[in-house]
Chain A
Amino acid sequence: MGALEKSNKYLIAALLIGVAFNGASVFFTIENTYDALIHLFFADHYANSWFEPWNYEWYTGFTVMSYPPLVHQSIGLFSYIGGLKFGLFTVAFIAIILFITGVYRFAKLMTSNRTAAGYAAILAALSSSFLETLHIFGQLPSIVGISVLMHALPEIYLWLKTGRYRYFFTCLSLISVTVTSHHVTPIFGMVFFIFPLIGMVIMDASREQVNSMKEVTFKVFLRTFFKLFKRIVMFGFSSLIIIVTCILPYWINSKKNPITQVPIPHGSRDNFLEVTSSGLVFFLIPWGVLLLILPYIFYRYYSKRYLFFGLSITILTILGTGGTTPIPIKVLGETAFNILTLDRFTLWASIMSLPLLGEFAYRFVEGDYKTYLQNRFGAIYHRLLGGFLAVLYLFMIVFTMSLGYFRPSQPQKIKMLPIVNFLNQDQHDHWRFLTLGFGDQMAWLSAQTNALTVDGNYHSARRLPELTTRAIERLENSKFRGVEGIGSLQQFLTTPEKYNLKYIFSNDKFYDPILYFCGWQRLRQLENGIMVWEKLNVPPLSSILPKDDVATWQKILWGIMPVTTVIIAFLLNVQMLLYRSLKMKPSFASYLKFQNNYTKFSKGVSISIHLWSLVVMACVAYGMYIFYMKNVSQISPENAIKAYYDHLDFKRFEDAHALIDPKSDIDIAQYMLEVSVTDGLLSSYAKMDAIKTEFIARDDSTATAIVHTKWITPLERVNKDFHKQLVKRKGKWYLLPDEVNADLPPDQLYSDNVTSYFNQGRRRITTEQTYHEDILKQPVLEIITAKLVKYDNHYAIIGEIQNVDDVPADVVIKGTLYNNDNRELATFNAKDVLKHKLMPKEVTSFRINFEGIAWTNVEDTIPKSFNPDEFTPIELEEQPTKFNLQAAGNVSSSDLYKDIVLSKLAINDSVITGNLFNSGLEEITIPQLVISYYNSEKELLFVDQKYIKEGIRQERKQPFEYPIPQPEIMQIISSDMDNCYVNGLPNEDISNKMVPNRIPKHSYNMLQPLEHPYFSFVKMELNNYIGNPN
């Protein structure tokens, strides 16, 4: 080996292909990944305050010491040159190069063959697991961590083998870089990569002492182990110290704020056979082509030299199967199972397989396997097989890369500038904001503005119990966490002043109703289509916010250490790197001695690869057949119904129409008309949760079914049964159309006069505080009655409140409960059991529920199907006996539509039925009834509400049905109104001044009599939400 080595053209090819392919596509993919923008946000934090770990922008403040900083700090550093995104892309490029070279070095170490390693590098550069991690998940720190670890492995080998201190320092320097870029990688990497490597070193050292591998007995092995023991221990302890000290603040922070959150469901923990989408993303894609050569990988890794790698990859493979088998949960324990995302095990297993994939490719393309196949099956077979594998490999690349295109994980890219401008305007950033339906782009918004949000995108750092007790990643996408997420969101919407939350940017119409009924109002639509919602009566953030400070040494260590590790690693490795890449010196690492000469490909392995591949392909084919059968919409009535509702759910009306009986003569135009006229909670704001079809009659050509559907709406869970009839025509099942509402309004064109309002805001353009005379007086409200009541096991404050001013008012009511010793027990706001907008002299009944933070006790089991309308009543230690009520009015000029009429009423058998009529000019999207109950003395006893599922078009009527509640306990605890305040002033004084001659219980003789054990009278008030104001 005296002559200078040639450059490894395979590695150069791998780098060229890898950087060209991944580097070019990263510009189109990484911003749409799950994680990249989060890393960008962290990078922005470091770029702005390098040494201050406390970040105020997310949650109610969190520490960035909760994630290893190297990648974020690197992006931050590069951002000084060309902005944050420049930093992101630069680091992505570095990660790509590190990964390809890392695989090369790892493969060279494992196979001791430069060509095989070259093959491995080329295949790795485009391997589906790498593409997925980079282009779909955007896990840069994870890639950097594993890449640097792979670079460290040969150095570790050399240290253990040769005992030269140079290698000791180089391997430790690389491990320190791994640690500062990703915390989980070195810990598990230690177990799954370094332990087997140590085993391999001992094997190799043992081999050198005897003549053949066969002679390496356990005794020899043990002897060698004790010989190398000192080096192993030295390495072990030093790397332990490095893992602990390099990111010491991280460990301190983890100990101080242990993750005590309810686990967030992750696809990698699913049963992949049940949830096939998770199986695809977390098993099939990362394994990809490797799946076919699994027998080869296991065969090779279970050979004596690699024995420990064999054990390691077995464990990794099994752990990577998530919830498919019960083994991972038993091995990891429940806690670790629920905190870790198990896809990383599959990633590591696939990376560990890469050297052998390279080796296999080498042997298949130009080695002994080629010879074997050609001799046995002929050259044609070998070529066909090669073509098949190449096509499969290309298919996996294209499939993985297009996954983000066909199933985008993110909403459409949102232009952030209008939002950033809005937040900078008029001191809007003095309040917290919340985004809805932004996906991970919320992190990008946060990176661009200094305004604070109550939400965040790094769920391990959540601190508010409202968030940590629920399995929701973000409030932002709470609808995807079902009703549980919406329940959490509702608490924030109901008591926004607790969090100084004033603005909501909504990119998803789904949330509109809940925003409205929690008392929010639309401000305006920004030019990027984002709707801004605003809540009145929220105080601005105080100028000093609380933070958990840490010692200065921690801040300095955190700020300096990561970059230092990189510099040290660079300095220590640069010489070798130059030698190696420029081939200035002949290099011969001692691991290259253990070359396999690849002379005879095992027949047994070849057969098992073939058999195994057939099994895998049969499984895939069967899976596809099942998938096809489930999704062919007209093969059975079940499929037809399922497909029909699926189409309706996703508003694919043309597809839905195709399932309607062609003999019914409803053309697509007519069908669209019939569907589009129905607006309302169910047709516009519901997401189907479950569908069950029950056939009550069925023969060969017709079927009648009751379709039990469950829908999640932002307001409540809706269960609705539909009766559907189906017919079979020419072997295909069709649905018969439903009847349409024949209600015909009397007027073609009609007019209405309305009073509308406009608030100038600042009449002068000034950056100063608003002029005194431009501030509107708060409208005066009067609390007419207020009571603390107990019904069943809930406490509530109920009452009636009137706007006694001359301008329309937005009403916020906050109630507080006290015990006999005046100790505060609970405080909450009125949510949706009231009309939030009152015209002058208008009255509304209200009810304040005292909601606890749901499931704060660990013992409480989280109900599988939580109803957003339900709430967790707060647990009170003592009996509340008094209450305080604070009502605040603010002038509001929006959502003042009142033209909803109770046009028909009937009460029988404790059910109220009737008709609502829309007499005005707007289409009512969601009508709401606020129902008050009185006792025989006409004293208010209870207030309830009901959403009507269907909307009401102009001059149309809509029937409703409402069952009267039958509480078991109904008692008034306190009617004492001494502690009622309006706009901070005592209610009684206001009453005496504004309406001194009030006629008490004025319209009570218009109460509707009722027969009920508790209630003798009922009052119906009408409220409504207009989804699309004209």
Chain B
Amino acid sequence: MRNKLTYILMSLVIATAVSVTTMYTAAPISVSLLTTEKTYTAGDRITLSFSKVPNKKPKLYIASSYGTTLLDPEVTETAFLYHVPSLISNKASTVNWKLMLKDNFLTGNFTITPILEVKSMESYLGPPSINAGGDDYTMLTVLPTDSLDNVLPDSTKVAIKRQFKRTFKTDTVLTHNLYSYKLIYSTKQAGRIFTASNCLGIDSKEKDVNVMPDTPVNFKIDVNRLHDYADGNQIAEMYTSQIKDGHNNIVSDGTYVTFYITNKKGYVLKTSGNTINGKATARIIHPDYAEHWQIKAYVEGMAESNTISIDFEQVVADFETQFSKNNREVTIGPIKSYMDQMIPDGLIIELKIYDNQTLVNTFTTATRDGYAAFTLKQVDVPNNTYNITVELAGINKTYTSKTLW
């Protein structure tokens, strides 16, 4: 109990002592802000004046959105004058200040508002190309700024204008958090949308966005041949109808179309074309034997064509083979085409040599002036009796029991 009492007494003494000391040391130095203005326009000269305190030269700490700094006062007879540097006074912002008196931190703030006159319109538009159809969009962002590069206050009106073909449209959007923006959705039709914006009488420069055709839809193909003979020389041309997207736009130039050709044996050949004005053309050389082709074209994953079939007529009906010089010189020809003309140069001829059923060797050559010749060298074909097959233009002829020596 006694202890408790002592504690209470002790703490009382301490408390009194503390309060007495604080009373004495906290003698307030009266300093006050003399400037009354609370709002300035960017670019104004700003001077804060404070009532003078003798023998002191306190610094003023100011913080704006641009940065912070310490100012020394200009001491006049009656006041401290703090000139806010243009670095800070040119920037629209709320400026907080604090007078750095050791015992008395006086604080306050003032606001710098932008000049309500637009000097430049910075605008961004992206992405620079979008797909037609109305789902894809691009965004126009406009930042109207004053002559000191301050953005305008929220809810400043910005007119966003756009033009597509013959339609004009103007939207008014309000700036928010420094900038204004507008989503521009694509049109059904491909083309170019031009945009411009205006704020407080000042106009931006032109920005444009390309509306590109959407994914293609199914199309038709056809084939163009000089004749329908399988001469292994002429070139067949396959072409598509004008390929369009779902909104009747012609697909962009260069769209890659693959033509698949399935032949009689079930092998898939292929050729390709890039569209120009929506039409793709692909070429392929005629086969050198009678063929039946089924052709279908694809734009992978997006569109396909109808299937067409074409036939090639056999041109070489028959041919003769002569063996000479110990059967080592094989001459084939004349090989004649559909009008009995000599077949154009370059028809491939394959000669296979079999010893009974086993293939000994294969030789390939091409015709020249309707003829072709093979010289069977000792090295490649040793002396023996063979079955010799000659194949050209899909025709297979076998000469049995030919003895080479």
Q: Which residues of B contact A1009 (CB under 8 A)?
A: 266
Query: Does A573 lie at the interface of the complex (its beta carbon under 8 Å from any beta carbon of B)?
Result: no
Contact status A773-B302, CB under 8 Å: no
Q: Please, what's the 1-or-0 string for B272-305, where 1 marks a CB less than 8 Å from any CB in chain A? A: 1011100001111101000000001011111010
Query: Does B212 lie at the interface of the complex (its beta carbon under 8 Å from any beta carbon of A)?
Result: yes
* Given A742-B366, A773-B128, A903-B302 contact (CB < 8 Å): no
Q: How far is the CB of A119 from chain B (nearest CB, A)?
A: 66
Query: Does A808 lie at the interface of the complex (its beta carbon under 8 Å from any beta carbon of B)?
Result: yes
Question: Which of B125, B251, B268, B271 has most chain A Cβ within 10 Å?
Answer: B268
Q: Please, what's the 1-or-0 string for A824-852, where 1 marks a CB less than 8 Å from any CB in chain B? A: 00000000000000111111000000000
Which applies to chain B's interface (DSSP): helix, strand, loop or mixed? strand
- Nearest residue, chain B, Cβ from A1002: B301
- Nearest residue, chain B, Cβ from A743: B346
- Nearest residue, chain A, Cβ from B298: A1003
Query: Does A998 lie at the interface of the complex (its beta carbon under 8 Å from any beta carbon of B)?
Result: yes
CA of A753 to CA of B275, assembled, Å: 10
CA of A754 to CA of B215, assembled, Å: 21
**A943-991: which residues lie under 8 A (CB-CB) from chain B?**
955, 957, 959
Query: Does A704 lie at the interface of the complex (its beta carbon under 8 Å from any beta carbon of B)?
Result: yes
Contact status A842-B284, CB under 8 Å: no
Query: Does B252 lie at the interface of the complex (its beta carbon under 8 Å from any beta carbon of A)?
Result: yes
Q: Please, what's the 1-or-0 string for B28-67, where 1 marks a CB less than 8 Å from any CB in chain A? A: 0000000000000000000000000000000000000000
Ranked nearest first, the 6 interchain pairs of A and B with the lowest CB-CB distance are A743-B346, A919-B283, A806-B252, A842-B256, A744-B345, A839-B256
Contact status B302-A917, CB under 8 Å: no
Query: Does B269 lie at the interface of the complex (its beta carbon under 8 Å from any beta carbon of A)?
Result: yes
Contact status A898-B256, CB under 8 Å: yes
Q: Please, what's the 1-or-0 string for A44-66, where 1 marks a CB less than 8 Å from any CB in chain B? A: 00000000000000000000000
Q: Please, what's the 1-or-0 string for B99-117, where 1 marks a CB less than 8 Å from any CB in chain A? A: 0000000000000000000
Query: Does A905 lie at the interface of the complex (its beta carbon under 8 Å from any beta carbon of B)?
Result: yes
- Nearest residue, chain B, Cβ from A1007: B268
Contact status A776-B367, CB under 8 Å: no
* Given A755-B253, A841-B300, A1008-B267, A744-B377 contact (CB < 8 Å): no
* Given A903-B269, A1003-B258, A747-B300 contact (CB < 8 Å): no
Supply 15 A–B pairs (Cβ within 8 Å), ascending by A: A704-B377, A725-B377, A743-B366, A745-B233, A746-B235, A754-B274, A777-B127, A806-B129, A806-B255, A840-B254, A841-B299, A841-B302, A993-B135, A1002-B300, A1003-B300
Query: Does B365 lie at the interface of the complex (its beta carbon under 8 Å from any beta carbon of A)?
Result: yes
* Given A755-B253, A839-B256, A917-B285, A742-B267 contact (CB < 8 Å): no
* Given A742-B368, A1003-B260, A919-B128 contact (CB < 8 Å): no
Contact status A905-B267, CB under 8 Å: yes
Query: Does B124 lie at the interface of the complex (its beta carbon under 8 Å from any beta carbon of A)?
Result: yes
Contact of A841 among B233, B256, B283, B377 (CB under 8 A): B256
Contact of B124 among A772, A804, A957 (CB under 8 A): A772
A residues neighboring B (CB under 8 Å): 696-697, 704, 723, 725, 739, 741-747, 753-755, 757, 772-773, 776-777, 784, 802, 804, 806-808, 838-843, 896, 898-899, 901-907, 917, 919, 955, 957, 959, 993-995, 997-1000, 1002-1003, 1006-1009, 1020, 1022
Query: Does B379 lie at the interface of the complex (its beta carbon under 8 Å from any beta carbon of A)?
Result: yes
Contact status A999-B274, CB under 8 Å: no
Q: How far is the CB of B369 from chain A (nearest CB, A)?
A: 9
CA of A757 to CA of B253, assembled, Å: 10
A-B contact count (CB 8 A): 163
Query: Does B378 lie at the interface of the complex (its beta carbon under 8 Å from any beta carbon of A)?
Result: yes
CA of A842 to CA of B256, assembled, Å: 5
Contact of A739 among B274, B344, B365 (CB under 8 A): B365
Q: How far is the CB of A889 from chain B (nearest CB, A)?
A: 13
- Nearest residue, chain A, Cβ from B254: A755
CA of A286 to CA of B281, assembled, Å: 68
Q: Which residues of A contact B129 (CB under 8 A)?
A: 777, 806
* Given A743-B345, A755-B276, A806-B267 contact (CB < 8 Å): no
Q: Which residues of A contact B255 (CB under 8 A)?
A: 806, 839-841
Query: Does B213 lie at the interface of the complex (its beta carbon under 8 Å from any beta carbon of A)?
Result: yes
Contact status A904-B128, CB under 8 Å: no
* Given A742-B367, A754-B274, A755-B274, A919-B256 contact (CB < 8 Å): no
CA of A957 to CA of B262, assembled, Å: 19
- Nearest residue, chain B, Cβ from A756: B254
Q: Which residues of B contact A802 (CB under 8 A)?
A: 300-301
CA of A744 to CA of B367, assembled, Å: 10
Interface residues on B, range: 35 or more
For the A-B complex with A841-B256, A841-B300, A1002-B302 known, give 5 more contacts whose Cβ atoms are closer than 8 Å: A807-B254, A899-B283, A905-B269, A919-B284, A1006-B298
Contact of B254 among A776, A808, A997 (CB under 8 A): A808
Query: Does B207 lie at the interface of the complex (its beta carbon under 8 Å from any beta carbon of A)?
Result: yes
- Nearest residue, chain A, Cβ from B259: A901
Contact of A919 among B125, B282, B366 (CB under 8 A): B282
Question: Which of A784, A841, A917, A1008 has most chain B Cβ within 10 Å?
Answer: A841
Q: Which residues of B contact A898 (CB under 8 A)?
A: 256, 272, 274
Contact status A843-B260, CB under 8 Å: no
Q: How far is the CB of B331 from chain A (nearest CB, A)?
A: 15
Q: How far is the CB of A752 from chain B (nearest CB, A)?
A: 8
Q: Which residues of A contact B256 (CB under 8 A)?
A: 838-842, 898
Q: Which residues of B contact A1002 (CB under 8 A)?
A: 298, 300-302, 304
CA of A1010 to CA of B148, assembled, Å: 73
Query: Does B204 lie at the interface of the complex (its beta carbon under 8 Å from any beta carbon of A)?
Result: no
CA of A903 to CA of B267, assembled, Å: 10
Contact status A995-B302, CB under 8 Å: yes
Q: Which residues of A contact B260 (CB under 8 A)?
A: 1003, 1006
Q: Which residues of A contact B149 (CB under 8 A)?
A: none
* Given A808-B254, A841-B256, A741-B379 contact (CB < 8 Å): no
CA of A907 to CA of B267, assembled, Å: 9
Q: How far is the CB of B393 from chain A (nearest CB, A)?
A: 13
Contact status A903-B284, CB under 8 Å: yes
Q: How far is the CB of A1007 from chain B (nearest CB, A)?
A: 7
Q: How far is the CB of B288 from chain A (nearest CB, A)?
A: 9
Q: Which residues of B contact A746 (CB under 8 A)?
A: 233-235, 344
Q: Which residues of A contact B267 (CB under 8 A)?
A: 905-907, 1008
Q: Which residues of B contact A959 (CB under 8 A)?
A: 364
Q: How far is the CB of A240 from chain B (nearest CB, A)?
A: 61
Query: Does B119 lie at the interface of the complex (its beta carbon under 8 Å from any beta carbon of A)?
Result: no
Contact status B128-A995, CB under 8 Å: no
Contact status A697-B274, CB under 8 Å: no
Q: Which residues of A contact B213 (CB under 8 A)?
A: 806
Q: Which residues of A contact B344 (CB under 8 A)?
A: 744, 746
CA of A999 to CA of B299, assembled, Å: 10
**B301-357: which residues lie under 8 A (CB-CB) from chain A?**
301-302, 304, 344-346
Contact status B298-A773, CB under 8 Å: no
Q: Which residues of A contact B282 (CB under 8 A)?
A: 901, 919
CA of A842 to CA of B258, assembled, Å: 9
Query: Does B146 lie at the interface of the complex (its beta carbon under 8 Å from any beta carbon of A)?
Result: no
Q: How far is the CB of A840 from chain B (nearest CB, A)?
A: 5
CA of A672 to CA of B301, assembled, Å: 49
Q: How far is the CB of A952 from chain B (nearest CB, A)?
A: 12
Q: Which residues of A contact B136 (CB under 8 A)?
A: 993
CA of A808 to CA of B253, assembled, Å: 10
Contact status B254-A839, CB under 8 Å: yes
